Chain A
Amino acid sequence: MSDVVIVADHRRSELRPVSYELLTAGRELADATGGDLHAAVVGGDVERFAERLDCEGVDAIHTVAEGEEFNHDVTAAAVTALADALDPGAVVMPNSVNGLDYAPAVATRLSLPLVTDAVAFDHDDGLTVTREMYGSKVETAVDVTSESVALTVRGGEWPAAGGVGDADIEPFDVEIDASSIRSTVRGFEEVGAGDVDIGDAEFVVSVGRGIEEEENLELIEELAEALDATLAASRPIVDSGWLPKNRQVGQSGKVVTPTVYLAVGISGAVQHVAGMKGADTIIAINTDPDAPIFDIADYGIVDDLFEVVPELIERFE
């Protein structure tokens, strides 16, 4: 019998949705070993967060009221201390930018193996974690042979926990040594303000790595104009400086929900899909028939975009 501790994710006074998914993933792990599910919430409005996290299947919630905002030094110290006290079989953390900012330190301090970005668990014969490699092209099964493990789980892979629980909500006392705090959050900035908000667009033409060269962008600009659509892009285009950050669709960019999303030369990495899966109709043009973008597309053309796009422009001019 081993218990499971999940660590809630919050930012700027709000719990992030992955927190509820962590409860479901944690409950699954706890059920497999007949253990209890504990949730930890560190920093922010911990009492309000704890009430929200008290969903069906949660046995205990531990609050650490330290600071308003996430700080990885505080979170790593608090989660380590809690895991020391509870001796769980698994510490489950979000595979978010902030999750990955403390989970590795929790693993090293507790001398636990760490498996990040889990998308599924199997418990038939000990714990096996499913995770992707090579940018979603390969799915691997990783066996964990130790008694305890640190895990981070990908958002959107487990359903959110719901219902009303009956968890014991208790503050957890932890001494945070001031000298161990080596980072200070000075503020936040929204990026991507500018000439256009792609989040409002009805039709979006989005371009990715398949465009190959900056000078080829003109072709996609022409397409967007012909379709009276807003031009957007996947990360590599913005990283290369070919389009400004306010055009970026995805996890670290904007979330768009247009009527039509036309993805041109975009493979559809999970970070990109997170920003456009809510579109009504998704159309993909890509040379690789196995590109993950086709998993989410409603319509597709498997062909060279330099063949297809000029033809398409002509039809709408």
Chain B
Amino acid sequence: MKVLVTVKEVAEVADDFEIEGLDIPERYLEYDLNEWDDYAVEAAVRIAEDRDEDVDVVAVTIGPERSEETVRMALAKGVDRAIRVWDDALAEADVLDPTTTARIIAAVAEDEEPALVLSGVQAADTGFGATGVALADLLDMGWAAVVNDLELGDGEASVRRELEGGVEELTTVDLPAVLTIQTGINEPRYASLRGIRQAQRKELAVHSLSDLDLEPSLVDDALTLSGMAKPESESDATIFEGAAGETTAELETVLRDAGVGAE
């Protein structure tokens, strides 16, 4: 059985950052494995560990060379091999339609023919939350979005989908399928030193769009970034200033006025 897990290296912005034009300068950015994908990787690796049959876990990412460090972390956690897609055309794109992202990953998945694809619910940076379901549809697979519990059966997966307001939907999905994995589904492991050493020797293939028989013009999709700004603060909060001794004195007054501490 083969499990494909989609991973993305995402940028996190520092608390105090600036925007220059349509970019945030590198000095304000830190890169890491997307949080949701960390849970998806863990779910994939656990499937490999728990099943009697041989399970091949393959990670796929779209990202520049820098992202190999992040992909190696997934390999260190137990992913068997990885595929990185990159292209000059992708380097120039400012915002990718999530269906375009899905088309690129679909080209990889068509070669790999996985029985199961796990992707994070969303990427922490772009936050589209759409790639996994688009991917499933392009691959003509079943799917379930926002999964926080997963049990693989014979030809089907039993999942819980986390809906709003503390309600979970119990759903059965035919395999092959794409499941988008929600945070909290498991406890992602830390990579062991041994895992990190092994990861250096694992296969990490790099493909351009043309390697995947995709036209670079695919990236030139209908979405263009035209503005980027910090949201205007709507805050009209009263901020207490000073040392903790002073600020907590003022806060105490507010709390007691609201009835806190009244026996």
Contacts and interface: CB of A to CB of B under 8 A. Distances in A.
A182 B173 contact: yes
B239 interface: yes
Contact of B166 (A108, A191, A301): A191
Given A143-B224, A228-B261, A281 B244 contact: no
Contacts of B174: 182-183
A189 B161 contact: no
Contact of A97 (B98, B164, B249, B259): B164
Contacts, number: 273
Nearest to B257: A281
B152 interface: no
B239 A133 contact: no
B24 A138 contact: yes
Interface residues of B, number: 83
Interface in B144-165: 144-146, 160-165
B233 A295 contact: yes
Interface stretch (B10-18, B42-50, B84-92, B198-206): B10-18
Contacts of A298: 237-238
B166 A308 contact: no
Nearest to A227: B260
Interface stretch (A43-51, A83-91, A249-257): A249-257
A144 B168 CA distance: 35
A254 to B, nearest CB: 6
A135 B124 contact: yes
B3 to A, nearest CB: 18
Interface stretch (B62-70, B107-115, B134-142): B134-142
A142 B95 contact: yes
Given A76-B137, A229-B260, A284-B237, A97 B161 contact: yes
A20 interface: no
Contact of A182 (B102, B142, B163, B167): B142
Interface string B227-253: 111110111011110001101110110
A280 to B, nearest CB: 7
A138 B131 contact: no
B258 interface: yes
Interface string A289-317: 11010110111111100011001100110
A105 B134 contact: yes
A280 B164 CA distance: 23
Interface string B152-195: 00000000111111111111111001000001100100000000
B12 A134 contact: yes
B244 A303 contact: yes
Contacts of B166: 190-192, 245, 248, 252-254
Contacts of B144: 101, 183
A203 B260 contact: yes
B168 A260 contact: no
Given A140-B95, A143-B223, A105 B133 contact: yes
A283 to B, nearest CB: 7
B1 interface: no
B235 to A, nearest CB: 5
A53 to B, nearest CB: 20
B99 A191 contact: no
A18 B168 CA distance: 19
B146 A113 contact: no
A13 to B, nearest CB: 13
B164 A189 contact: no
Interface string A231-270: 0000110111100010010011111000110100000000
B259 to A, nearest CB: 6
Interface in A1-58: 11-12
B226 interface: yes
A97 B251 contact: no
Contact of B244 (A95, A137, A142, A307): A307
A142 B230 CA distance: 15
Given A139-B228, A183-B144, A299-B254, 19 more contacts: A103-B133, A104-B99, A104-B102, A113-B99, A117-B129, A134-B125, A137-B17, A139-B230, A145-B222, A149-B222, A187-B169, A189-B167, A192-B166, A203-B258, A241-B187, A251-B164, A259-B258, A295-B235, A301-B248
Q: What 7 A-B pairs are tightest by C-beta distance, nearest first? A: A141-B227, A182-B142, A239-B184, A104-B134, A146-B222, A104-B133, A105-B137
30 contacts: A96-B164, A101-B146, A101-B161, A108-B102, A108-B134, A114-B99, A116-B98, A128-B226, A133-B126, A134-B12, A134-B125, A137-B13, A138-B230, A139-B230, A142-B223, A182-B173, A183-B142, A183-B143, A189-B160, A191-B166, A202-B259, A228-B260, A229-B260, A283-B251, A283-B255, A284-B237, A290-B233, A294-B239, A295-B235, A301-B247
